A and B are shown apart, each in its own frame.
Chain A
Amino acid sequence: MNTEILGVILMFATVVALAIPLGRYIGKVFNYENTWFDSIFNPLDQLFFKLGGINPTKEMNWKQHLVALLIINVVWFVLAMLVLTNMSWLPLNPDQNPSMSADLAFNTSVSFVTNTNLQHYSGESGISYFGQLILMLWQFISAGTGIAICAVVFVAMKERTADTLGNFYSFFVRSCTRILLPISLVVATLLAFNGMPMTFEGKDTITTLQGDTVQVSRGPIAAFVAIKHLGTNGGGFFGANSAHPLENPSYFTNIVEMVTQMIIPIAMIFALGFVIKRRKLSWMIFGVMTIGFLLLTIPTIISEMEGNPAIANMGIAQNMGSMEGKEVRFGSTASAYWSIATTVISTGSINSMHDSFTPLSGMNQMLAMMVNAFYGGCGVGMLNFYIYIILAVFISGLMVGRTPEFLGKKVEAKEMKIAMIIALLHPFLILVGTTLATSLPNLTAASLSNPGFHGFSQILYEFTSSSANNGSGFEGLGDNTPFWNIACGLVMLLGRYLPIIGPVAIAGILAGKKYIPESNGTLKTDTPTFGLMVFAVIAIIAALAFFPALTLGPIAEYFSMPK
């Protein structure tokens, strides 16, 4: 078999093999069970709580959890704005990069605090090392937020009736110190030992073999890239993100970065089974997500390996596949695989330029973000999937004529209303945003780098990526203008916090209800049949809501190209 395909299989097999034991470990962290590393982490956590003035044993109900989450996120946003608009005179700025304008700082602050990492600047020229380190802080703590709030929902799903669901700060600190920090250290070490820079020196000037004088940007990259992937953040240190030879030097580092970005989203699935003691439910969820992932990945790999038909018409060899925007050291197969992995989970880092992919690959990348729950981001992927489960429970309950129940709790009108609002929010933000942008051509037309259908795809992709908190882009879009900075910033805010509030509210309300033990009449939710039902709900929501928009963009482009 072809070595490029073997590489992709290796990446997927490795991440699943590592995610299952990690899921067990995360489950133990959420359940406050003993783990091997307690002797290090217990004192460390105590230090965090003491310095933070927090009582980690104070129980919170679901509303208090959300208040704590939202307040700390506001603090982060304010701090990010302060740093990004004052970088020019702050320390660690060897290249004398300027401060950000207010609208760009707004976009960037929102982008990193919401775990999106959409970037309307280039790392080489738009931010100081101090700014990069501050962004790295959000990469840790925004991921920690997602994991912590997901833990709250897991605890709410336990078989009991409860109003309080643990302490938010405690889950948050434990997620950061016990999950993100140790894995980041291991990954950063692997990367620094494989050719990735970790230096505070500024740009270097070299004379090339041919005699040109060029500059080479450097920086503390290894530390940054580790958490960028582990936290499904995806914001690049450099403009070219993980396509840059210093941000992803070899095929080996490509494997490391790929495994790192997928490991927590997959581990969270297994953590759920461990926390609520229903392993079969985890396997059902894993099955649905994996089938969805493969259905998007395989056609993309095939399409990229075949190459661009318009270039095939010119009569040259495309043995390596479509190579525009791709690096030779990764090849088209690993690039295609990465492009879907980074869009199903909400990383948004790239190792090739999505803008230059063949039309149907671009469509699959967008579909991955439109569903946003095949694995999904750190913690929040499970929250999105939870909404789909609630919808499927309700629909299948109606189909068999029983009261809809999920894990022993009755799902009633109030929960359904919340679930529907959240399910419809994502298409609403994407489609309204795209409509707005296309109807204001004097603000947006100049920012498109491609004419026709592909230009429309660039707009659609930008809003999809913002609403899914993904952060990748069809990067030809000249998006550092007040319109794009503010519009995308608002979409990212709504696309982050409402889909957190909704599932937490549903889970919190359900947790307070009476627990009904399983009987013969209970609809089983850990079976393949129910998995199929969830899949159908996802397909219907994504297909019906987004098909018209996709037809105008990538599908039209596909049919306009030579065969």
Chain B
Amino acid sequence: MKNNIISAIRLTLVCLVFFCGIYTLAVYGISKLAPESMSFAKTKAGYYENVGQSFTNDKYFYSRPSAVAYNAAGSGGSNKGPSNPNYLAEVQARIDSFLVHNPGVQKEDIPSDLVTASGSGLDPNISVQGAKVQVKRIASIRNMNESTIHQLIEQQTEKPLLGLFGTEKINVLKLNLALDILN
């Protein structure tokens, strides 16, 4: 019993040094070897491309609703259940507001990702349909050709992994940066 306790304490300290200390430093060292394009880093303009930003201004493509208002000091989803009446009223209000800001858009063209909050509250992406449905609004506010914007969306579409696995998506920040360059 006494031997067990002493062994347990000593072994724990060895594990502490090894798995907290040496392992962490090893991974830290290895991570420094990653090329800049693949590692976590700020862009020149001072953004993190992977961390979503709030876009509510009508001249930009909107990002998804967020339970944490895109402040990455925290993170989280709405955690509203699928049958929660307050939640469903909120989604209805988002649809109505979207229709007001986007005249000429049919309700059945609005994809659900634009009116539902993501899990992290920091989703950097929207679906391709989520971008297309906003083209009319952007074109009229920015006095641009709709086809130019459609082309831009085409360019900015990120295909599934190897063209085979996962979803097709658009990074809202990159799309809006490209949009600002065009106009």
Contacts of A48 in B (CB 8 A): 11, 14, 18
Contacts of B138 in A (CB 8 A): none
- The answer to whether A185 and B23 have CB atoms under 8 Å apart is yes
| Binary B-proximity of A292-320 (CB < 8 A = 1, otherwise 0) | 00000000000000011011001111111
For residue B9, CB closer than 8 A to chain A, the reply is yes
A328 contacts which of B12, B73, B125, B163 (Cβ < 8 Å)? B125
Q: Contacts A6-B165, A72-B12, A210-B54 given: A356-B23 contact, CB under 8 Å?
A: no
For residue B107, CB closer than 8 A to chain A, the reply is yes
Minimum Cβ distance to chain B for residue A57 (Å): 14
Once bound together, how far apart are the Cα atoms of A52 and B7, in whole Å? 6
- Residues of chain B at interface, number, CB under 8 A: 98
Contacts of A475 in B (CB 8 A): 76-77, 79
- The answer to whether A356 and B79 have CB atoms under 8 Å apart is yes
- The answer to whether A209 and B173 have CB atoms under 8 Å apart is yes
Contacts of A250 in B (CB 8 A): 161
- The answer to whether B119 and A316 have CB atoms under 8 Å apart is no
For residue A217, CB closer than 8 A to chain B, the reply is yes
Once bound together, how far apart are the Cα atoms of A204 and B168, in whole Å? 30
For residue A239, CB closer than 8 A to chain B, the reply is yes
- The answer to whether A323 and B112 have CB atoms under 8 Å apart is yes
- The answer to whether A79 and B177 have CB atoms under 8 Å apart is no
Segment from A347-355, A394-402, A414-422, A515-523 that makes contact with B: A347-355
- The answer to whether B95 and A216 have CB atoms under 8 Å apart is no
Minimum Cβ distance to chain B for residue A245 (Å): 5
Q: Contacts A195-B39, A251-B160, A325-B118 given: A185-B27 contact, CB under 8 Å?
A: yes
Q: Contacts A48-B14, A72-B8, A240-B75 given: A330-B92 contact, CB under 8 Å?
A: no
Contacts of B166 in A (CB 8 A): 3-4, 7, 251, 254, 329-331, 334
For residue B127, CB closer than 8 A to chain A, the reply is yes
Q: Which residue of A lies closest to B88 (CB)?
A: A310
For residue A192, CB closer than 8 A to chain B, the reply is yes
Q: Which residue of B lies closest to A184 (CB)?
A: B23
- The answer to whether A356 and B46 have CB atoms under 8 Å apart is no
- The answer to whether B77 and A353 have CB atoms under 8 Å apart is yes
- The answer to whether A207 and B15 have CB atoms under 8 Å apart is no
- The answer to whether B78 and A314 have CB atoms under 8 Å apart is no
- The answer to whether B84 and A451 have CB atoms under 8 Å apart is yes
Q: Which residue of B lies closest to A192 (CB)?
A: B31
For residue A279, CB closer than 8 A to chain B, the reply is no
Contacts of B27 in A (CB 8 A): 185, 188-189, 192, 198, 220, 222-223, 226
- The answer to whether B112 and A311 have CB atoms under 8 Å apart is yes
A194 contacts which of B38, B47, B109 (Cβ < 8 Å)? B38
- The answer to whether B120 and A4 have CB atoms under 8 Å apart is no
- The answer to whether A251 and B165 have CB atoms under 8 Å apart is yes
Once bound together, how far apart are the Cα atoms of A181 and B130, in whole Å? 43
- The answer to whether B82 and A359 have CB atoms under 8 Å apart is yes
For residue A449, CB closer than 8 A to chain B, the reply is yes
- The answer to whether B1 and A215 have CB atoms under 8 Å apart is no
- The answer to whether A141 and B19 have CB atoms under 8 Å apart is yes
Minimum Cβ distance to chain A for residue B25 (Å): 9
- The answer to whether A125 and B73 have CB atoms under 8 Å apart is yes
Contacts of A189 in B (CB 8 A): 27, 30-31
For residue A112, CB closer than 8 A to chain B, the reply is no
Segment from A30-38, A102-110, A131-139 that makes contact with B: A131-139
For residue A466, CB closer than 8 A to chain B, the reply is no
Contacts of B100 in A (CB 8 A): none
Once bound together, how far apart are the Cα atoms of A526 and B118, in whole Å? 45
Once bound together, how far apart are the Cα atoms of A141 and B18, in whole Å? 11
Q: Contacts A212-B54, A214-B72 given: A356-B82 contact, CB under 8 Å?
A: yes
Minimum Cβ distance to chain A for residue B120 (Å): 4
Interface residues of A in 445-467 (CB under 8 A from B): 449-454, 457
Most buried by B among A203, A217, A254: A217
Q: Which residue of B lies closest to A450 (CB)?
A: B81
Q: Contacts A75-B12, A206-B46 given: A244-B120 contact, CB under 8 Å?
A: yes
- The answer to whether A245 and B120 have CB atoms under 8 Å apart is yes
Q: Contacts A68-B4, A195-B40 given: A561-B76 contact, CB under 8 Å?
A: no
Contacts of B136 in A (CB 8 A): none
A71 contacts which of B4, B14, B160 (Cβ < 8 Å)? B4
Minimum Cβ distance to chain B for residue A93 (Å): 15
Once bound together, how far apart are the Cα atoms of A197 and B72, in whole Å? 14
Once bound together, how far apart are the Cα atoms of A189 and B20, in whole Å? 16
Q: Which residue of B lies closest to A357 (CB)?
A: B82
- The answer to whether B46 and A324 have CB atoms under 8 Å apart is no
Contacts of A474 in B (CB 8 A): 79
- The answer to whether A240 and B47 have CB atoms under 8 Å apart is no
- The answer to whether A356 and B75 have CB atoms under 8 Å apart is no
Interface residues of A in 468-504 (CB under 8 A from B): 474-476
Once bound together, how far apart are the Cα atoms of A209 and B53, in whole Å? 8
For residue A326, CB closer than 8 A to chain B, the reply is yes
For residue A358, CB closer than 8 A to chain B, the reply is yes
- The answer to whether A454 and B83 have CB atoms under 8 Å apart is yes
Once bound together, how far apart are the Cα atoms of A324 and B81, in whole Å? 9
Q: Contacts A136-B19, A334-B166 given: A214-B71 contact, CB under 8 Å?
A: yes
Q: Contacts A246-B50, A334-B166 given: A75-B108 contact, CB under 8 Å?
A: no
A317 contacts which of B28, B84, B111 (Cβ < 8 Å)? B111
**Contacts from B to A (Cβ < 8 Å):** 1, 4-16, 18-20, 23-24, 26-28, 30-31, 34, 38-40, 42, 46-48, 50-57, 60, 64, 70-85, 87-88, 91-92, 95, 107-113, 115-127, 129-130, 160-161, 163-169, 173, 176-177, 180
> Can you list 30 A-B pairs, Cβ within 8 angstroms, ordered by A?
A6-B164, A52-B7, A53-B7, A54-B10, A72-B8, A72-B12, A75-B12, A133-B24, A137-B20, A140-B15, A204-B48, A209-B55, A214-B71, A217-B72, A217-B73, A217-B75, A223-B23, A223-B28, A227-B19, A239-B76, A246-B40, A310-B88, A322-B112, A326-B119, A328-B126, A329-B166, A353-B77, A353-B119, A557-B81, A560-B83
Contacts beyond the supplied A3-B166, A251-B165: 20 A-B pairs with Cβ under 8 Å: A6-B165, A72-B8, A75-B9, A124-B75, A136-B19, A141-B19, A176-B19, A184-B23, A185-B23, A199-B40, A207-B46, A212-B70, A214-B71, A222-B31, A243-B75, A251-B160, A315-B108, A325-B117, A326-B118, A451-B84
Q: Which 8 A-B pairs have the closest CB atoms?
A: A476-B79, A243-B119, A454-B81, A240-B75, A192-B31, A52-B11, A353-B77, A198-B31
